[in-house]
């Protein structure tokens, strides 16, 4: 058998020489800059209704501002011009492109698992401070109604434009929010909700079931949730995009859509 010892010694020497060589320099890969927030473009298509934009006309579907004095109001253009980097936006609740607070704000905050504090800051379920952006729209149904003395008979004989049950459709509303977790692990959550409302009764405004509701939430192009429901009174869609942990840069993008139909009334809202 040939003697392999000299060969093994030569191989070990070569390996040792390579190990002693300095490591080549590692080139740093430049990270993308934090993206600039876009200006939201609202698109409305209303048949048989009128958009409500003031708290006076929103009546009980607007919460008193004195109840939530820490909420910020702004237009989308002003907000995105001032806060071009969402990671540096001060913690708080920002209502954009609306002049009133939705009456269901406590339910929206609870559904999002966030807390609005008296000092104006907003924290997520883990206690981290976040900036929460909220849009909302409200439409009053204006299609003709039957005029009968008996309320029960009036509701039962309403034309097809008012097929809602158990109450005639008076208002529809939709809202959308997004917020980002910018801590150790980063993500952005987008949610869209829609509600159908009957007439006010004894100081309360109940929901009413309508023929069709669709809500859609889109988060950074990686996750889209589209929900539809027939004969329902409220619907919510939520999408979350995760950017992982230890990574200092992230993408951004949220969009939403709401569509409500009942008889000859229809309303869609996209942004």
Whether the per-residue pLDDT at 60 is higher than 70: the answer is: yes
Please tell me the distance from the alpha carbon of residue 35 to that of residue 252, in angstroms, as a whole number. 7
Token pair listed for 107: 């339910």
19 in any annotated domain? no
pTM over 0.85? The answer is no
Name the DSSP class of 165: B
Out of 144-158, 192-206, 252-266, pick the least confident.
144-158
Task: Report the candidate in 235, 240, 239 with the shortest Cα–Cα distance to residue 259.
Answer: 235
Residue appearing with tokens 């009456």: 103
Residues 6+ apart with CB under 8 A from 225: 216, 217, 237, 238, 239
Segment 138-149 mean pLDDT: 68
Number of domains present in the structure of the chain: 1
- Mean pLDDT over each residue of the chain, to the nearest integer: 78
Please tell me the distance from the alpha carbon of residue 198 to that of residue 209, in angstroms, as a whole number. 9
20 in any annotated domain? no
7 in any annotated domain? no
11 in any annotated domain? no
Q: What is the pLDDT of residues 64-89, one digit of tens each?
A: 999 999 999 999 889 888 887 766 88
Q: What is the pLDDT of residues 159-179, one digit of tens each?
A: 444 579 999 999 999 999 988
Out of 196-210, 233-247, 254-268, pick the least confident.
233-247
Residues 6+ apart with CB under 8 A from 190: 176, 177, 178, 217, 218, 219, 238, 239, 240, 254, 255, 256
Segment 248-257 mean pLDDT: 60
- Convert 137-152 into a string of H (helix), E (strand) and C (coil): EEEEECCCCCCCCCHH
28 in any annotated domain? no
213 in any annotated domain? yes
Pairing of strands 72-74, 92-96: parallel
Pairing of strands 49-52, 72-74: unpaired
5 in any annotated domain? no
* Contact between residue 101 and residue 92 where contact means Cβ atoms under 8 Å apart: no
24 in any annotated domain? no
Write out the residue range of the structural domain in which residue 76 sits: 36-270
Q: Is the peptide bond before 243 cis (omega within 30 degrees of 0)?
A: no
* Contact between residue 175 and residue 257 where contact means Cβ atoms under 8 Å apart: no
Task: Report the candidate in 245, 231, 247, 251 with the shortest Cα–Cα distance to residue 190.
Answer: 251
Pairing of strands 92-96, 129-141: parallel
Task: Report the candidate in 171, 93, 188, 94 with the shortest Cα–Cα distance to residue 137.
Answer: 171
Count other Cβ atoms within 10 Å, centred on residue 100.
Answer: 21
């Amino acid at each position: 058998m040939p003697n392999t010892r000299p060969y093994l010694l030569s191989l070990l020497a070569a390996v040792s020489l390579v190990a002693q060589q300095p490591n080549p320099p590692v080139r740093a890969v430049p990270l993308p800059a934090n993206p600039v927030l876009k200006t939201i473009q609202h698109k409305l298509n209303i048949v048989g209704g009128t958009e409500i934009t003031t708290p006076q006309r929103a009546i009980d579907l607007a919460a008193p501002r004195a109840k939530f004095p820490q909420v910020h109001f702004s237009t989308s253009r002003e907000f995105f011009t001032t806060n071009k980097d969402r990671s540096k936006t001060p913690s708080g609740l920002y209502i954009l492109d609306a002049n009133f607070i939705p009456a269901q704000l406590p339910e929206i905050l609870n559904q999002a698992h966030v807390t609005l504090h008296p000092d104006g800051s907003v924290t997520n379920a883990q206690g981290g401070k976040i900036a929460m952006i909220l849009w909302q729209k409200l439409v009053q149904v204006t299609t003709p109604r039957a005029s009968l003395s008996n309320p029960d008979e009036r509701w039962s004989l309403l034309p097809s434009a008012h097929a809602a049950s158990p109450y005639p459709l008076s208002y529809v509303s939709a809202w959308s929010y997004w917020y980002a977790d910018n801590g150790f692990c980063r993500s952005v959550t987008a949610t869209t909700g829609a509600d159908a409302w009957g007439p006010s009764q004894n100081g309360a405004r109940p929901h009413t079931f309508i023929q069709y509701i669709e809500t859609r939430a889109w988060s950074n192009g990686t996750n889209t949730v589209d929900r539809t429901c027939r004969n329902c009174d409220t619907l919510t869609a939520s999408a979350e995009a995760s950017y992982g942990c230890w990574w200092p840069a992230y993408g951004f993008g949220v969009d939403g859509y709401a569509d409500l139909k009942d008889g000859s009334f229809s309303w869609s809202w996209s942004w």
